[in-house]
Amino acid sequence: MGKQLCGLPLLLLVLLLSSIDGTTQLQSSQSQTLLRLQQLLYYPKVLTSWNNFTDFCNSEPNSSLTVVCYEDSITQLHITGDRRGHMLPKSFSIDSFVTTLAKLPDVKVLTLVSLGLWGRLPDKINRLSSLEILNVSSNFLFGPVPHELSSLASLQTLILDENMFSGLVPDWIGSLPSLAVLSLRKNAFNGSLPSSLSTLSGLRVLSLANNRFSGALPDLSRLTNLQVLDLESNSFGPMFPRLSHKLVTLILSKNMFRSAVSSQEVTSFYQLQHFDLSFNTFVGPFPTSLMSLPAITYLNISHNKLTGRLSTNLSCNSQLMSVDLSSNLLTGSLPDCLKPSSGVSRDVVYGGNCLANANEDQRPVSFCSNEALAVGIIPQRRNRVKSKLGVALGVTGGVLGLILLAGAVFVVLRRVSAKRKATEASPRFIKENVSMGYTSKLLSDARYISQTMKLGALGLPSYRTFSLEELEYATNNFESSAFMGEGSQGQIYRGRLKDGSFVAIRCLKMKKSCSTQNLMHHIELIAKLRHRHLVSVLGHCFECYLDDSTVSRMFFVFEYVPNGELRSWISDGHVGRLLTWEQRISVAIGVAKGIQFLHTGIVPGVYDNNLRITDVLLDSNLAAKISSYNLPLLVEGLGKVSDVKSLNLVSFLNLLAECVLLFFLRWDKLYQEKELQGVIKDEDKVDIYDFGVILLELIVGRPLKAKGQVDVLKEQLQASISADDGARRSMVDPAVHRTCSDQSLKTMMEICVRCLLKDPLERPSIEDVLWNLQFASQVQEGWLHNSNPPSIRGSPSPAASSRLHVTTLELPRDSGYEEHER
């Protein structure tokens, strides 16, 4: 009896310890859920330690993997993989993945970074009803943000960075009362921001950089807790936003702001440390009080049109460590507090202004005066004779009356024509009927350029204003040997800048009555049409009349592309130097990204671009550059029709009609919103067809110059997809048919056939095209690493810039294959 009583405490102790130990053990169902997630993620390296015996709740956490439990349930799951830039296989199902995740109902913090996830984020994500923090950055998720996220009432942090999400930021975002961090960086979101953002009173971080947002910002002054606002690389504008005064970081760089910067507004930012306004068109006086804000440490106002006379006695905050005033219209002298002799070690950049006694490159004061005039900062001189003013007003009134009458007729005709069949011609926002005269021949005929010289070795230089002296130096005073040709919008010269880079320079003669404001509107758009896969405009130059400082001539400076047309690297010439299969995929990705930029990278988008393979040029790294996008025409400023050799009466009338169309499309916004979406959608798919023809020539390696050829090859391609490997390879360019994986080839063929479907509505979206091309590239890369076939061993590998990170746009050109039903 005594032994039994003695053993009782020991038994109770064992039971108590086992009970305590049981509370730290994860439910077996949740353990199995984690192992299932490991399987669905194709056993990434970060999860190699997981197995049936893993004690998940007590595993040592690290920066890549952390599991946190409370009682017997998982409350936090952090997984950071190493698949940045690499998607999971095509068999991956995001739907199955999220369904499995939903079996962890108590998860409050979920981090899934760089795991190669792809697909549309499923609606069932709302089954994770306890979520407070969701981070799925650096994956390949696309499509709109699901509405079901609005039901996650406890959500405090939403991070969707570096994916392919698109569409508008939903209005329901304002229904997340606890949201404190919203980060959507590096996606494809577009449109304007919803006004409901202003209701998120607890929002502390709003990061929207590197998207395609546009338009005016909503009133953010009510976000009294907002500390970080990052809007870099969008198209917001034109007015400086209304903001809370508690901001610590404010980044507005690379947008379309073109208003003044209110000194009274910015001096109230008493907590502001990081302020970046660079690469916009801000005008008016530079608020020098920015340099003395109480907390400021970084200030960048570069590449704007800010004016003002600086003085040596201006003050700076002692904590201000970095200042960039470059490329504005500042005059006067550099403040003493920014000079090395001030005793404070600062990083100061101020070149490209009109400052006196400065060490960095400065322009003459007259340049800043002329530029200020061009952006409307300096009022036009009013010494016109009153009689001339009266005549001008009378003529202007008459012209306005005619325009309004023409506009009224146009609106009526447009509403009638909108009812016609979809196969009839439809109006476009941007595209003009008359080309810029900058043909593919002119752009690609650069074989005389040394292969070691290339423009923008580290990427495209910043868009800037050139001085007339620079262009005269580049062309040796526009001598005849530099003359390349004459198009409908002026003469074109070849030039070489002082840094050794080659450029093409177009000269346009302007009417004396040309509006400088209209010129700047065109330049603002042109400056945005810049992309590493476009033949881009590098800058402009004004030459003014001496009597009244109005613009007499305008120059545009373009980049050169040294390796010529893509076709010459596939089916013409370059014997022994034809593109490899992986390089062809890379080029296709570049062209597709260019089309995507044309459609969504600017507002309004550029559609129905009539693309040809002869419009695709290759740079020194074999990266694609589209050379046929339609720059806006300076109709008002051009000289008489008779002065422009290739501008006949018909094209002039077409051009005039499209300008009236552009004006009234914007004026008649309600009608536009209802009907234009369908028009743009159809024109979107026209470019998809043209891309399909380019892709077809990349595959077969033969020039296609007639619609009949395209139709026949498309049928043959479609038949070979369902056949065997040999049949598919028989369709491919013999130069590469042994060096491509069957899966990669099949994927390329499938997306090519879909692009060439007769019904535009059945053709894939550009996002769908990009996904398939990137998948084909990854399959090909994996096949090369695994097989390393002797036939390609030793061949040059594609340049890094021509792999997955190729991007694109377009300019005017010669016609390629015959016109076809697109």
Structural domains in the chain plus CATH codes: 28-281+289-303 (3.80.10.10), 463-560 (3.30.200.20), 563-634+679-786 (1.10.510.10)
Please check the confidence at residue 646 and state whether its pLDDT lies above 50: no
**Lowest mean per-residue pLDDT among 164-178, 410-424, 686-700:** 410-424
| Burial bucket for residue 621 (CB in 10 Å: 0-12, 13-18, 19+) | middle
Which of 685 and 781 is assigned the larger pLDDT? 781
Rounded Cα distance between 804 and 792, Å, is 20
- pLDDT in the model for residue 735: 83
**Lowest mean per-residue pLDDT among 477-491, 517-531, 688-702:** 517-531
Strands (E), 672-789: none
- pLDDT in the model for residue 277: 95
Per the structure block, which two tokens stand in for 136?
């799925």
Please check the confidence at residue 210 and state whether its pLDDT lies above 50: yes
**Lowest mean per-residue pLDDT among 116-130, 325-339, 458-472:** 458-472
Cα–Cα distances in angstroms (integers) from residue 562 to residues 9, 176, 765, 814, in the given order: 89, 52, 31, 19
- pLDDT in the model for residue 398: 58
- pLDDT in the model for residue 793: 33
Mean pLDDT of 489-514: 80
* 77 SS3 class: strand
Cis ω before 44 (30° cut-off from 0): no
Question: What is the torsion angle, in degrees rounded to the nearest 10, for the CA atoms of residue 285, residue 291, residue 295 and residue 299?
Answer: 80
Rounded Cα distance between 373 and 378, Å, is 5
Amino acid at 790: P
- pLDDT in the model for residue 299: 96
Residue tagged 């020194």 (tokens): 620
Residue tagged 């019904």 (tokens): 759
In sequence order, the 6+-apart residues with CB closer than 8 A to the CB of 175 are 150, 196
Mean pLDDT of 674-680: 41
List the end-to-end C-alpha distance of the chain, in Å, as a whole number: 98
Using left for φ > 0, alpha for ψ between -120 and 50, and beta otherwise, residue 43 falls in left
Q: How confident is the model at residue 253 (pLDDT cuts 50, 70, 90)?
A: very high
Per the structure block, which two tokens stand in for 295?
């907390």
- pLDDT in the model for residue 344: 79
- pLDDT in the model for residue 1: 45
Which of 608 and 247 is assigned the larger pLDDT? 247
Please check the confidence at residue 169 and state whether its pLDDT lies above 90: yes
Other CB atoms within 10 Å distance of the CB of residue 649: 8
Which of 461 and 128 is assigned the larger pLDDT? 128
Cα–Cα distances in angstroms (integers) from residue 708 to residues 177, 714, 715, 750, 816, in the given order: 59, 10, 11, 20, 14
In sequence order, the 6+-apart residues with CB closer than 8 A to the CB of 402 are none
Per the structure block, which two tokens stand in for 9?
């405490």
Amino acid at 78: H
Which of 660 and 178 is assigned the larger pLDDT? 178
Which of 515 and 779 is assigned the larger pLDDT? 779
Map 437-475 to HEC letters.
CCCHHHHHCCCCCCCCCCCCCCCCCCCEECCHHHHHHHH
Mean pLDDT of 270-285: 93
Rounded Cα distance between 551 and 717, Å, is 55
- pLDDT in the model for residue 565: 84
Q: Which of 433-447, 461-475, 786-800 has the highest mean pLDDT?
A: 461-475
What is the pLDDT of the chain when averaged over all its residues?
Answer: 76
- pLDDT in the model for residue 4: 44
Rounded Cα distance between 279 and 328, Å, is 10
Q: How confident is the model at residue 463 (pLDDT cuts 50, 70, 90)?
A: confident
* 526 SS3 class: helix
Rounded Cα distance between 765 and 599, Å, is 11
Planar angle of CA 137, 138, 141, nearest 5 degrees: 80
Cis ω before 604 (30° cut-off from 0): yes
Which of 122 and 795 is assigned the larger pLDDT? 122
Half-sphere exposure of 500 (CA within 13 A, CB side): 7
Residue 561 CA to its chain's centroid (Å): 21
- pLDDT in the model for residue 576: 55
Which of 529 and 434 is assigned the larger pLDDT? 529
**What is the per-residue DSSP string for 209-258?**
-SSEEEEPPP--TT-TT--EEE--SSEE-SSPPP--TT-SEEE--SS---
* 510 SS3 class: strand
Which of 147 and 430 is assigned the larger pLDDT? 147
- pLDDT in the model for residue 489: 59
- Please provide residue 368's backbone torsions phi and psi, each rounded to the nearest 5 degrees: -65, -35
Mean pLDDT of 652-669: 40
Q: How confident is the model at residue 276 (pLDDT cuts 50, 70, 90)?
A: very high
Q: How confident is the model at residue 693 (pLDDT cuts 50, 70, 90)?
A: very high
Residue-wise pLDDT tens digits, 511-549: 766 666 667 767 777 777 777 777 778 888 888 766 656
Which of 530 and 390 is assigned the larger pLDDT? 530
- pLDDT in the model for residue 37: 93
- pLDDT in the model for residue 397: 58
**Lowest mean per-residue pLDDT among 117-121, 452-456, 477-481, 529-533:** 452-456
- pLDDT in the model for residue 310: 92
Rounded Cα distance between 375 and 283, Å, is 8
| Burial bucket for residue 468 (CB in 10 Å: 0-12, 13-18, 19+) | middle
- The answer to whether 626 and 615 have CB atoms below 8 angstroms apart is yes
- The answer to whether 392 and 380 have CB atoms below 8 angstroms apart is no
Q: How confident is the model at residue 441 (pLDDT cuts 50, 70, 90)?
A: very low
Please check the confidence at residue 420 and state whether its pLDDT lies above 50: no
Which of 759 and 207 is assigned the larger pLDDT? 207
Rounded Cα distance between 324 and 303, Å, is 9
Query: Across the beta sheet with 283-285, what order do the strands follow?
Result: 283-285, 305-310, 329-333, 354-356
**Lowest mean per-residue pLDDT among 104-113, 301-310, 589-598, 651-660:** 651-660
- Please provide residue 186's backbone torsions phi and psi, each rounded to the nearest 5 degrees: 55, 60
**Lowest mean per-residue pLDDT among 182-186, 288-292, 440-444, 666-670:** 440-444
What's the alpha-carbon Rg for the chain, to the nearest Å?
A: 31
- pLDDT in the model for residue 245: 87
Mean pLDDT of 87-104: 92
Beta bridge partners, 250, equal: 229, 275
Report the share of the chain in percent with pLDDT over 90: 33
Q: How confident is the model at residue 345 (pLDDT cuts 50, 70, 90)?
A: confident
Residue 742 CA to its chain's centroid (Å): 33
Please check the confidence at residue 16 and state whether its pLDDT lies above 60: no
Please check the confidence at residue 766 and state whether its pLDDT lies above 80: yes
Cα–Cα distances in angstroms (integers) from residue 758 to residues 424, 683, 688, 690, 719, in the given order: 15, 14, 11, 12, 17
Q: CA nearest 292: which of 315, 276, 272? A: 315
- pLDDT in the model for residue 667: 39
- The answer to whether 548 and 381 have CB atoms below 8 angstroms apart is yes
Mean pLDDT of 431-453: 30
Per the structure block, which two tokens stand in for 302?
């570069």
Q: Which of 329-333, 387-391, 739-743 has the highest mean pLDDT?
A: 329-333
Residue tagged 């109770």 (tokens): 12
Residue-wise pLDDT tens digits, 617-644: 888 888 888 876 655 444 444 443 333 3
